[in-house]
Structures are given as C-alpha cells and as structure tokens.
C-alpha cells in the first residue's frame, strides 16, 4: 500500500509552524510510518518529484517567490492547508502592510544604523517585494486552516492524521483554544 504524500513550505514567516511539526516528538516516528514527505525542508527535497496528497504552508506571501511557491503547491497538492496566523492572516510580517514598500526598503537599507552599504538591493535574482504581505487564501484556494502562532503540535498531529486517513477534521476546542 502506498503512503499518502505530504509536502511542506515556509513563506514569509518564522519557521515556527515547522518547529511545531517537529514538536510532535516521538509521534514523528509514527508520522514517518503513515506518510511520505516530498518537497519539504523536513527531508530537504527541494522540488516536487510527484503529486502530493497534502501540502502544509506556513507564512504569508510577501514577495514574488512566495507567490510562485504557493501556486506550485496548489498545482501539485490535492489538499492545501494554511498553517498558522501568518498563512491565515499575514501575521507579524503583515505589520508592514500600512507602510508603502519603498518606505520599508529605505528604512531597512538606507536609514538602518547597522547596514554599512547604504543601497537598496536590486538584483534580478532577488524576489520582488509585494506591496503588502498577503494571506494565502487571497492568492490561491486553501482547503483547510490551522490557527495558532504557531499551531500546537497536537493540532497539527490531529489534522494531519485525519487528512491522510480520509477523515473529517473534527478538531476539538481544546486543540484550537489559545489561553
């Protein structure tokens, strides 16, 4: 029997949601028995090698590369899951949304006291910063949302095992409450 295939990515965020995946502790061994990871920093596979059943995306879209990665996930994953507040609402990176992008770049590169070269990077290989940080559902269709900053390891475990087991996400209040 073939295992369901999982892919993961981190966009404009802090990588905390991936840390929650690792925080499932000993269950990570059970997860490896249940699923195969494809494109993911967890197994260091950089490109899709086959279609995936579930894609977990953390972080919002703050630049052109984030959008490209997200669209590639939507194309290659049957179900796409926005993981964490950055993916769902833009999170902390979206704090820049009320400031024009040029002003953000000038503050970071021209007025910052710790930057020696007072130039705004401008290389064709660098992703283009977007006018704001977008939540994932404003770019592509998202099938499921896992809230939290980051979501708990238990929430991620329950959601993943339900999805790969073909069961509905019956997430209880104690998994998604934050107090």
**What pLDDT, on a 0 to 100 scale, did the predictor assign at position 140?**
98
Section 145-156 average pLDDT: 94
Closest CA relative to residue 119, chosen from 109, 134, 132, 130:
109
Is 42 within a domain? yes
> Which residues contact residue 67 at a Cβ distance below 8 angstroms, ignoring those fewer than 6 apart?
61, 130, 134, 139
CATH number of the domain residue 30 falls in:
3.40.50.700
User: Any idea what the Cα angle at residue 6 is, between residues 178 and 74, rounded to 5°?
Assistant: 85
* pLDDT value at 28 more than 80: yes
Two tokens, residue 46: 């950089």
Domain membership of residue 44 (yes or no) is yes
What total of structural domains would you count in the chain? 1
Residue 35 falls inside a structural domain: yes
Is residue 111 in a domain?
A: no
Decide if 166 is inside a domain: yes
- 118 in any annotated domain: no
pTM to 2 decimals? 0.92
**Residue 85: predicted pLDDT:** 96
The average pLDDT across 130-144 equals: 97
Asked if residue 53 belongs to a domain, the reply is yes
Cα gap 64→140, rounded to integer Å: 14
pLDDT of residue 3: 93
**Does residue 116 lie within any of the structural domains?**
no
Which range of residues forms the domain containing residue 169? 5-96+131-174
């Amino acid at each position: 029997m073939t295992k369901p295939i999982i892919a993961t990515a981190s966009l404009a965020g802090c990588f905390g949601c991936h840390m929650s995946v690792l925080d499932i502790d000993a269950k990570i061994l059970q997860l490896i028995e249940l699923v195969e990871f494809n494109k993911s920093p967890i197994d260091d596979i950089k490109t899709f090698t086959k279609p995936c059943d579930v894609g977990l995306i953390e972080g919002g879209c703050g630049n052109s590369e984030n959008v490209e990665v997200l669209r590639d996930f939507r194309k290659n994953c049957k179900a796409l899951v926005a993981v964490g507040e950055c993916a769902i609402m833009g999170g902390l990176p979206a704090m820049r949304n009320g400031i024009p992008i040029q002003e953000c770049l000038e503050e970071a590169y021209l007025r910052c006291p710790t930057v020696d070269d007072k130039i705004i990077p401008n290389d064709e290989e660098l992703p283009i910063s977007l006018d704001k940080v977008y939540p994932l559902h404003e770019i592509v269709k998202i099938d499921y949302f896992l809230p939290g900053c980051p979501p708990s390891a238990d929430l991620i475990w329950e959601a993943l095992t339900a999805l790969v087991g073909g069961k509905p996400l019956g997430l209880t209040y104690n998994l998604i409450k934050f107090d």
